[in-house]
Amino acid sequence: MTQIWVEVPGGRLNVLDEGAGPPLVLVHAAIADLRSWDALVPHLVTAGYRVVRYDLRGFGASTTDDVEFSSRADALAVLDALGLERAVLVGNSAGGRIVLDTAIESPGRVVALVTVAGGIGGFDGGGTPEEIALFEASEALESADPPDPDAIAAMDLRIWVDGALQPAGRAPAWIRDAVREMDAALYAPDRVFGEPIPLEPPAAERLDALTMPILAVAGTLDPTTSVLTARHLEANAPNARAIVWHDVAHMIGMEVPERLAGTITAFVEPLSPRT
């Protein structure tokens, strides 16, 4: 494994690069950092892929000044720093939105996309009344001054790790503990995130431009918006396919890393001929 720092305007990104073969670039969820891929990466490397992952600005070890920035440009900066002309982009949750946006803005850099419980910019999948109440309670916790990191992490575990309508503690303890640590750290008083510049028009209005192969993976234990979003992508992007699993929630790469790795590699193998 090689760790490098990638300098971007107003910030610095922590990047891990390991393995050899066709490149896969992993973008994490907004309740975690690149460590959320720890269980998945070894399976992808063993399967013969070069796996690159990085902390988004303000997450994990990456830093930023309080500046406006493009998450799409940051993703391309990682590719450029590693000499990667094109790659398969894999995004979990908010990372899914970022990889979709990057592919719309720079389609020539993207071989294919995999979204894992991923979002779509500008698309609201809705939710049940119970889920919406939890989302509103979560927003209230995050907007408190000062925020309570432990309370926010507990709510995120309930919604995203166990699943909003699932029993508390459903997910394995190691996953809950790992996400709690990553998530609570995001609300430290000195944490700076900058101001992401949204893609305009948003991806939801431009899905027909996503002509590369896309695989959208979602779980029914997740809030209902996750499956609805995957199905929406399947229905509206020209070359997209959705897979729905009934035993996982939001952090699929942590819950079933071997299964997800096998699904990704089966999808990518025909697209990335080895030289």
CA distance 264 to 134: 31
Q: Quick one: angle between helices 71-81 and 94-105, nearest 10?
A: 80
Domain end, chosen from 144, 165, 185, is at: 185
Q: What DSSP character marks residue 21?
A: S
* pLDDT, tens only, 8-66: 999 999 999 999 999 999 999 999 999 999 999 999 999 999 999 999 999 999 999 99
- What is the rounded distance in angstroms from the CA atom of residue 96 to the CA atom of residue 241? 14
First to last CA, the chain: 22
Cβ contacts of residue 138 below 8 Å, gap of 6+? 152, 155, 156, 159
CATH of the domain at 201: 3.40.50.1820
99 and 138 assigned to the same domain: no
Residues 6+ apart with CB under 8 A from 127: 135, 164, 223, 224, 225
The pLDDT > 90 percentage for the chain reads 96
Of 141, 156, 185, the residue that ends a domain is: 185
Q: Is the pLDDT of residue 133 over 90?
A: yes
Instruction: Please compute Rg for the chain using Cα positions.
Output: 17
Listed in sequence order, the residues at least 6 apart from 252 whose beta carbon sits closer than 8 Å to its beta carbon are 92, 116, 117, 217, 219, 245, 260
99 and 215 fall within a common domain: yes
**Are 34 and 161 within one domain?**
no
Same domain, yes or no, for 87 and 103? yes
Q: What is the pLDDT of residue 274?
A: 58
- Give residue 275's pLDDT: 41
Q: Are residues 136 and 195 in the same domain?
A: no
Query: Quick check: helix, strand or coil at residue 105?
Result: helix
Q: Band of the pLDDT at 273, cuts 50, 70, 90?
A: low
Say whether both 66 and 145 belong to one domain: no
At residue 221, does pLDDT exceed 60?
yes
One-letter amino acid identity for 248? V
17 and 88 inside one domain: yes
Does 249 have pLDDT greater than 70? Answer: yes
Cα–Cα dist 172/188, whole Å: 26
Which amino acid, one-letter code, is at 214? I
Q: What is the mean pLDDT of residues 88-109?
A: 98
| Same domain membership, residue 238 and residue 134 | no
Q: How far apart are alpha carbons 43 and 262 in whole angstroms?
A: 8
Q: Taking residues 114-119, what's their average pLDDT?
A: 98
Domain assignment of residue 41, given as a range: 2-124+191-271
Q: Examine the domain organization and report whether 51 and 150 are in the same domain.
A: no
pTM of the predicted structure, to 2 decimals = 0.96
204 with 75, same domain: the answer is yes
Clarify whether residues 44 and 179 are in a common domain: no
Instruction: Compute the distance between CA of residue 268 and CA of residue 43 in angstroms, rounded to an integer.
Output: 14
Secondary structure of 134-146 in HEC code, one letter for each residue: HHHHHHHHHHCCC
Asked whether the beta carbons of 69 and 194 are under 8 A apart, the reply is: yes
Q: How many separate domains does the chain show?
A: 2
Kindly state whether residues 167 and 196 are assigned to the same domain: no
Closest listed residue to residue 191, CA positions, set 27, 71, 35, 63: 63
Region 140-154: what's the mean pLDDT?
94
